[in-house]
A and B are shown apart, each in its own frame.
Chain A
Amino acid sequence: MTRFDGNALAGELVDVLGADPTTARLRCTGCGSLGSLGETRVYRTAMGSVARCHGCDTVLVTVVSDGVRRRVGLPGVRAASIA
């Protein structure tokens, strides 16, 4: 299991969080803090990727891909600001 940061999800989140996902600002449903996707703690496994709030560990974003379709969840994002 390896841990990354939100930079690693840029490719998979294009279209969902704008053309420049690492600059998306996300408000966490857990602690209310606002931060860039680039600052999130990302865990990547063969099951999928999970981006957690660097402050409170709430799961902000999930990405599950079967090679054809990509399923993106935003369970911990109250709202996102995209440029």
Chain B
Amino acid sequence: MSTPTSVASTSVASESVASTSVASAETPDTGQEARPSPATPARVHRRPAWHAATVAEVRDESPTARRLVLDVPTWPGNDPGQHLDLRLTAEDGYQATRSYSVASAGDDPRVTLAVDRVDDGEVSPFLVDAIEVGDALEVHGPLGGWFVWRPSSGSTRPVQLIAGGSGIVPLVAMVTAHAEADDPTPFRLLYAVRTPEDVFFRPELDAATAADAPLEVTVVYSRTAPADATVPAGRLTKDALAAAVLPPEDRALVYVCGSTPFVEQVLRWLGELGHDVADVRAERFGGS
């Protein structure tokens, strides 16, 4: 593992720049980052690269979303929470690139994504409505070692995952990895959707809940709740959030993912509820 390097910006001429580097060697490994720390056994660092990919499987995930499984022969594997940049090239050479979180994790060259259709989007309508098994595209990854949870890190801190809509994608990778590794870390997932039809990866979530690794999943509905719901549908409130998540004194590692407005609202509330912002990592999917 290479030692951290510091790059001094050349624009600051008048100040004496002390090139500070974070003493990452002393940071305890909480499993929060993809890069290995000296505390864990040496592992291959997966450097991002462009890879050729073929669509191996497509299936509807919800009325507006589709699951795509890509066959990526040169994929070096990815940690739970990472993403990739997916690039489409038209015959005239025009290219469009979009980031998608990876729902799968590990060394498997089959990479699972879930794409939600954005109205007037350039790429998502094509991926949800038009792409077929056998189609070729390119992916750049694995990316994003900051928004990551790895099993078997040795950390005893519980983990709280909070997903808004399609924000479930990187979190289901974490949940699945947690279950497959039989990791004893207490995991809680709060999953906010509009209607029951909008839930993604239900089989994976059910399987993970049934597995031995401790996992509690709470789904809340903003528009239509299922008939057997204990809580009626309604927009997520600060009180509902407080009731569903681990309290600040549990010092959980928190991961929040969803649209930018959802994430920012949740982060604001977590701060107001007393959570330490240093324990919260977020990934914003844009949108309004």
Contact = CB atoms under 8 A, between A and B. Distances in A.
A interface, over-half SS: mixed
A23 B8 CA distance: 17
Contacts of B17: 78-79
Nearest to B101: A7
Given A2-B288, A37-B146, A78 B12 contact: yes
A55 to B, nearest CB: 11
A83 B284 contact: no
B178 interface: no
A48 interface: no
Q: Which of A8, A20, A74 has the most CB of B within 10 A?
A: A20
B286 A22 contact: no
A79 B6 contact: yes
Contacts of B97: 11
Q: How large is the interface on A (under 10, 10 to 19, 20 to 34, 35 or more residues)?
A: 35 or more
Contact of B285 (A4, A27, A74, A83): A4
A10 B48 contact: yes
Q: How large is the interface on B (under 10, 10 to 19, 20 to 34, 35 or more residues)?
A: 35 or more
A19 B141 contact: no
Interface string B241-258: 000000000000000000
Contact of A82 (B6, B95, B288): B6
B260 A3 contact: yes
B33 A23 contact: yes
A34 B83 CA distance: 24
Given A14-B48, A29-B9, A5 B283 contact: yes
Contact of A8 (B11, B99, B281): B99
Contact of B145 (A11, A20, A25): A20
A20 B284 contact: no
A38 B83 CA distance: 13
Q: Which 7 A-B pairs have the closest CB atoms?
A: A22-B146, A2-B286, A38-B146, A10-B143, A20-B145, A11-B85, A81-B21
